[in-house]
Chain A
């Protein structure tokens, strides 16, 4: 199975900060990667798919980049509603695998 190593596992940041989360795949996955945001008690929601495509309705402060094995989710200016846990998901090969998650907390 493809391992997705996500880092950091948690971070503390302030409103307005630029935040970067990374995912590294144990083998090349082209651009078959999505980023999901999950708030407590809620289902995940897709932010980015195809590594860099912004889902409709998602604010433009979210962006994704990368291809092959290294991927990045960037929040350009953190807003109060962005405090949540973020997961990457590779759907290049079965079994699909999630990263371990990154919890973004308020500093």
Chain B
């Protein structure tokens, strides 16, 4: 059974960089057909897609965050990571990592999710 687990600091100071890692177990981040993504949810709000990466390093970012976000993959440790720079209180959210199963004909979706981790931006 595939499992994803987010890890990283729960508290980040304004203007600093938020860094999270998603460790994948029960499957490989290097398998073709699967992408790996980050989604966040501010307290009491809806879901926001942050970005997605393919194991060869191809990345896709939300344009609203593009200048501040970097997603990378570490195939040797079966992990992928999120870095969000110059954070403000508006970046306070639960951050989820997830696997995106890709297939032709629109038959693609996020099928496995981490439990989510709350990151608070505060001094």
Residue numbers of A with Cβ under 8 A of B are: 1, 30-34, 36, 38, 42-46, 49-51, 53, 55, 87, 89, 91-92, 94-101
Contact = CB atoms under 8 A, between A and B. Distances in A.
Contact of B108 (A42, A87, A91, A99): A91
A46 B109 contact: yes
A98 B45 CA distance: 12
Contact of A46 (B49, B96, B110): B110
A97 B49 contact: yes
12 contacts: A1-B64, A31-B105, A32-B106, A32-B108, A36-B47, A49-B106, A49-B107, A87-B47, A91-B100, A97-B49, A98-B47, A101-B46
Contact of A36 (B64, B105, B110): B110
**Closest A-B pairs by Cβ, 6 of them:** A43-B113, A49-B109, A95-B62, A96-B49, A31-B106, A50-B107
Contacts of B8: none
Contacts of B48: 98
Contacts of A31: 105-106
Given A50-B105, A95-B63, A43 B46 contact: no
A99 to B, nearest CB: 8
A59 to B, nearest CB: 17
B122 interface: no
Contacts of A38: 47
B114 interface: yes
Contacts, number: 73
B44 to A, nearest CB: 11
A38 B111 CA distance: 13
Contacts of B98: 43
Interface in B64-86: 64
A32 B109 CA distance: 9
A68 to B, nearest CB: 12
Given A43-B96, A43-B116, A53 B47 contact: no
A45 B108 CA distance: 14
Contacts of A30: 106
A31 to B, nearest CB: 4
A3 to B, nearest CB: 13
